[in-house]
């Protein structure tokens, strides 16, 4: 009972935190998809809370509920009131977006007078844009025929206008040369229908190109079953007899199942000698996804309860410093009672002299402690300047200094061509991944930013802002975005270095799906390294919208490209090449470029904006994977001392004495060693435990004799 109540209280806290986070959200982030996602999560939270409340009521009596604080404090009533207020607030915030979308939607005139004069106002039906995909043709064809083609109130020129405005890609290019006139509509419509109205091909393509299920999933099995049934019914409606297709359909559907479902199906039909029918396979699939739904539901509850039951642990690092202090080891330089890294004389020495002293004193290069080398050092810390396995006090700057500091770039309006073509990689390491991006506020250089949908672990879509950078060989994502999406991490080892000497260690990589807001079916899988932050706000200041009439009708990938915003994802060259589409436009007067991608049109280049102060912001990222760190440990320049006088504790000294005094070898060559005990008279000394062991053995033997089956099994062994 306590587990159910604690889970209810956790849901209660989640509701309060969600409402607080919404109030803290910036106005730029509050968009229609964001509010709709919040509303869906709120409904899910409410359903879980009601289900938990129902379980609690069923498990207790009426007399008990008066004693439980959960009922005394009226937690359910309070949660319900908070839910109503929160949902009302979300709907009120969503209302302006719904009004604006309705006003911008191209409406279709009402066909009947009953719809005009009816009391119920139906939502406007929007015809989807057809881009040439055969699987989308039937939906487009039926809607267009119902609303436009068969509408006698529309003239042919109006129908042709609606037709061309709802086409893109290949079909749009096919009808591009048809001028919008009454005479051209019938010819254009017939040509489009002749090209794409291949119903048999469309249905069979959907039927035979279904995805193979790789893991046990109720939703995937349900989708496989529904798609197959729909295709068979569509073929039957076209006059095609599918009653004798059972063998083919069964083979097709079974080949798409996961291995466990396939194994259970074979066990299910193994007792029959006849070939199974499609109806039998349907019944099996229905029972299979129902059982998986129950299993997935129970697993989710167990995971949530397990996550709450696992206590948070704290890790402690034990190092040799404590042992040195206990043994009263003094500073090797001044013989005072402190560590050498706290010694003033040591800090006043040059780095070269410090290294020589450490080598001479045989200290660890990482923690500056005696009795071990850097290879055996258990300290997790490393140099704060370069991240290598040595102390920060003995770090040596091996890179040459820049002749012109980075700060001098703020006095000029840009960066010369030579510096742009060669990133400033000063170290001798093999930096395999390099990213260089520039943002100049004085000339208002605009970078290619996009707003995309990213799928979380539970399947929800979140709108995030990304930067397209073809100068980067890798992609990056912020830590906050990974936590928001609850993505699974993979451990990696690498370093990210920026301008100057600062370096940041990367430990994790994630895989995520990036989808277009305009066409969610267009998505790209991205493997990204996790960083705490990527860049500053882009653009750094509010920009003036350029006067360019050609882009007013385009679907921009980032409608808020002139407003400063946080960059959540950086998409590198490997993704950049996959998202580009045909189409590029250039501003007639300024160096501004519009390029078509699956996310929409992206803008990049310079915008003349003289009202802004001249300021240069340069971001440079380099990543070096340290796959050979373990191998490098064997090639450390520091020499391990041959002999180290280790300071032993009293117990360890006692063990040494017992070993040297009692160890001997018998006639067979085996060693006889006396066991050291912490107490002077242990219970097992001189055979004192023999009687106890004998009593336990006799007790076990009596127990086995009472059970003849177990007794025979043990005696046979």
User: Percent of the chain having pLDDT more than 70?
Assistant: 76
Lowest mean pLDDT among 130-144, 362-376, 398-412: 398-412
Inform me whether the pLDDT recorded for 117 exceeds 60.
Answer: no
Burial-class residue 193 by CB neighbours within 10 Å (0-12, 13-18, 19+). middle
CATH class of the domain whose range is 416-631? mainly beta
Count CB atoms within 10 A of the CB of residue 161.
Answer: 15
Q: pLDDT tier at 299 (50, 70, 90 boundaries)?
A: low
Closest CA relative to residue 452, chosen from 617, 589, 600, 266: 600
Lowest mean pLDDT among 117-131, 498-512, 628-642, 684-698: 628-642
Confidence (pLDDT) at 477: 92
Cα distances (angstroms) measured from residue 126 to each of 106, 111, 139, 147, 148 = 7, 15, 12, 10, 11
Distance CA 276, CA 267 (A): 12
Inform me whether the pLDDT recorded for 120 exceeds 70.
Answer: no
Distance of CA 169 to the CA centre of its chain: 32
User: The tokens of 360 are what?
Assistant: 């001479």
Count CB atoms within 10 A of the CB of residue 468.
Answer: 25
Query: What's the average model confidence in pLDDT over 43-59?
Result: 84
Confidence (pLDDT) at 466: 92
Q: Which of 56-60, 306-310, 454-458 reaches the highest mean pLDDT?
A: 454-458
User: The tokens of 451 are what?
Assistant: 């707003």
Lowest mean pLDDT among 433-442, 531-540, 650-659: 433-442
Render the burial of 263-301: b for 16+ CB within 10 Å, e for the rest.
eebeebeeeeeeebebebbbebbeebbeebeeeeeeeee
Decide: 122 and 55 in contact? Cβ < 8 Å: no
Inform me whether the pLDDT recorded for 167 exceeds 60.
Answer: yes
pTM of model > 0.75: no
What angle, 0 to 180 degrees and rounded to 10, lies between the N-to-C axes of helices 246-255 and 278-309? 20
Place of tokens 């998809």: 33
Could you say which DSSP state residue 312 is in?
A: P
Q: What is the DSSP string of 127-160?
A: PPPB-S-HHHHHHHHHHHIIIIIT-TTS-HHHHH
Q: For 660-711, what is each residue's pLDDT tens digit?
A: 888 888 877 788 888 888 777 776 666 667 777 888 888 888 888 888 777 7
Q: What is the DSSP string of 482-510?
A: HHHHTPPEEEEEEEEE-SSS-EEEEEEEE
Could you say which DSSP state residue 314 is in?
A: -
Distance CA 179, CA 400 (A): 66
Q: For 560-576, what is each residue's pLDDT tens digit?
A: 888 888 899 989 888 88
Distance CA 397, CA 246 (A): 75
Inform me whether the pLDDT recorded for 249 exceeds 70.
Answer: yes
Confidence (pLDDT) at 569: 92
Strands 503-515 and 449-455, how do they pair? antiparallel
Q: Phi and psi for 593 in degrees, rounded to 5? A: -125, 140
Distance CA 481, CA 510 (A): 11
Query: What's the average model confidence in pLDDT over 260-274?
Result: 82
Closest CA relative to residue 219, chosen from 296, 134, 317: 296
Distance CA 367, CA 532 (A): 27
Confidence (pLDDT) at 665: 81
Distance CA 111, CA 122 (A): 13
Cis? peptide before 539, omega within 30° of 0: yes
Mean per-residue pLDDT over the chain, rounded = 76
Confidence (pLDDT) at 204: 77
């Amino acid at each position: 009972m306590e587990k159910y109540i604690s889970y209810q209280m956790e849901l209660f806290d989640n509701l309060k935190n969600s409402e607080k986070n919404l109030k803290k959200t910036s106005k730029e982030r509050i968009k229609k998809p964001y509010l709709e996602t919040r509303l869906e999560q709120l409904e899910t939270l409410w359903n879980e809370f009601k289900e938990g409340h129902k379980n609690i009521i069923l498990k207790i009596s009426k007399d008990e509920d008066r004693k439980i604080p959960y009922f005394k404090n009226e937690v359910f009533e309070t949660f319900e009131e908070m839910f109503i207020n929160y949902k009302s607030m979300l709907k009120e915030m969503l209302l302006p977006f719904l009004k604006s979308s309705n006003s911008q939607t191209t409406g279709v005139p009402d066909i009947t007078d009953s719809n005009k004069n009816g009391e119920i106002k139906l939502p406007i039906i929007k015809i989807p844009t057809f881009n040439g995909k055969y699987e989308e043709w039937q939906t487009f064809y039926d809607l267009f025929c119902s609303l436009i083609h068969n509408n006698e109130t529309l003239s042919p020129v109006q129908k042709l206008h609606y037709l061309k405005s709802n086409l893109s890609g290949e079909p749009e290019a096919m009808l591009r040369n048809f001028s919008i006139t009454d005479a051209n509509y019938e010819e254009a419509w017939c040509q489009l229908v002749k090209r794409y109205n291949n119903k048999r091909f469309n249905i069979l393509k959907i039927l035979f190109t279904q995805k193979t299920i790789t893991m046990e999933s109720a939703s995937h099995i349900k989708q496989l079953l529904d798609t197959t049934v729909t295709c068979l019914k569509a073929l039957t409606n076209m006059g095609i007899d599918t009653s004798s297709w059972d063998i083919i359909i069964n083979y097709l559907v079974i080949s798409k199942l996961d291995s466990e479902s396939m194994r259970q199906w074979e066990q299910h039909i193994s007792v029959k000698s006849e070939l199974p029918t499609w109806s039998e396979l349907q019944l099996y699939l229905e029972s299979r996804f129902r059982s998986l739904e129950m299993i997935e539901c129970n697993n989710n509850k167990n995971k949530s309860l397990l996550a709450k039951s696992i206590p948070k642990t704290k890790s402690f690092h034990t190092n040799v410093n404590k042992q040195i202090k206990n043994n009263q080891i003094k500073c090797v330089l001044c013989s005072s009672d402190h560590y050498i890294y706290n010694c003033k004389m040591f800090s006043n020495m040059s780095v070269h002299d410090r290294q020589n002293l450490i080598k001479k004193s045989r200290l660890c290069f990482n923690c500056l402690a005696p009795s071990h080398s850097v290879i055996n050092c258990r300290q997790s810390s490393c140099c704060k300047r370069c991240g290598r396995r040595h102390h920060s006090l003995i770090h040596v700057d091996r890179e040459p200094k820049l002749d012109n500091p980075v700060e001098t770039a703020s006095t000029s309006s840009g960066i010369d061509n030579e510096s742009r073509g060669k990133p400033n990689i000063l170290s001798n390491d093999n930096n395999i991944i390099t990213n260089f991006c520039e943002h100049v506020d004085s000339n208002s250089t605009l970078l290619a930013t996009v707003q995309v949908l990213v799928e979380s672990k539970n399947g929800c879509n979140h709108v995030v802002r990304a930067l397209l950078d073809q100068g980067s060989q890798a992609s990056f994502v912020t830590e906050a975005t990974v936590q928001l999406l609850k993505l699974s991490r993979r451990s990696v080892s690498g370093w990210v270095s920026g301008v100057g000497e600062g370096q940041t260690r990367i430990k994790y990589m994630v895989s995520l799906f990036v989808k277009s807001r305009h066409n969610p079916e267009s998505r790209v899988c991205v493997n990204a390294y996790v960083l705490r932050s990527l860049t500053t706000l882009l653009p750094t200041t509010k920009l003036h919208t350029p006067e360019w009439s050609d882009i007013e009708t385009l679907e921009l990938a980032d409608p808020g490209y002139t407003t400063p915003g946080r960059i959540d994802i950086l998409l590198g060259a490997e993704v950049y090449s996959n998202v580009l589409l045909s189409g590029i436009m250039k501003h007639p007067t300024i160096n501004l470029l519009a390029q078509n991608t699956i996310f929409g049109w992206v803008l990049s280049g310079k915008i003349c904006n003289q009202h802004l102060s001249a300021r240069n912001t340069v971001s440079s990222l380099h990543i070096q994977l340290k796959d050979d760190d373990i191998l490098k440990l064997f090639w450390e320049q520091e020499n391990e001392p041959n002999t180290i006088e280790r300071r032993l504790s009293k117990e360890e000294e006692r063990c040494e004495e017992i070993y040297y005094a009692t160890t001997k070898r018998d006639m067979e060559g085996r060693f006889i060693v006396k066991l050291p005990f912490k107490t002077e008279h242990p219970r097992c000394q001189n055979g004192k435990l023999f009687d106890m062991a004998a009593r336990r053995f006799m007790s076990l033997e009596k127990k086995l004799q009472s059970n003849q089956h177990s007794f025979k099994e043990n005696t046979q062994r």
